[in-house]
Amino acid sequence: MRKKKRWIPVLLIAGVLGITAFLYIQSRPVNNMEASAPQSYSQALEFEAKQEALVQTIEVKGKSSYIRETAVYAPFAGTIQSWAVKEGEQISEGALLFEMETDDLRKQLAVKQANVDKMQTEQKIQQAVQSLAPDSSRTTAASVGEQEAFARYTDKETDKLQQKLDSINLAMLQNEIKETQELISEARYLAKADGIFLFDEKKEPKRVAEQELLGKIVDLTQLKMVATVGEYEVFQIKEGLPVDVRIDALPNDKLKGKVTEVSKFAKSGNDGVSKFEVTVELEPHDRLIAGLGLTGTIIVDQKDNALVVPTITVQRDGDDYFVYVLNGTEPEKRIVQIGIETAEQTEIIEGLQEGDKVVLQ
331 and 212 both lie in a single domain: no
In a domain, 168, yes or no: yes
pLDDT for 88-134, tens place per residue?
899 999 999 999 999 888 898 888 888 888 888 877 787 777 676 66
Confidence at residue 227, expressed as pLDDT on a 0 to 100 scale: 94
What does DSSP assign to residue 31?
-
Residue 13 lies in a domain: no
CA distance 158 to 139: 20
**Residue 262, SS3 per DSSP:** strand
Q: Name the stretches of the chain with pLDDT < 70.
A: 1-44, 130, 132-144, 149-150, 152-153, 155-157, 269-271
Examine residue 318 and state whether it is found in any structural domain, yes or no: yes
In a domain, 35, yes or no: no
pLDDT digits 0-9 by tens, 206-222: 999 999 999 999 998 88
75, containing H or E segment: none
Helix (H) or strand (E) holding 321: strand 320-327
Helix (H), strand (E) at residue 113: helix 103-132
- Identify whether residues 269 and 327 lie together within a single domain: no
* 117 and 174 belong to one structural domain: yes
pLDDT of residue 138: 55
- Domains in the chain, number: 3
The answer to whether residues 145 and 192 belong to one domain is yes
Residue 303 φ/ψ, nearest 5 degrees: -140, 140
The pLDDT value recorded for residue 44 is: 58
Contact (CB, 8 A) for 297 and 254: no
Q: Which residues contact 25 (CB under 8 A, 6 or more apart)?
A: none
- Rounded Cα gap, residues 329 and 333, in angstroms: 13
240 and 145 both lie in a single domain: no
Expressed as residue numbers, the domain containing 160 is: 70-216
Report the C-alpha gap between 278 and 288 in whole angstroms: 19
Q: What phi, psi does 271 have (nearest 5°)?
A: -90, 5
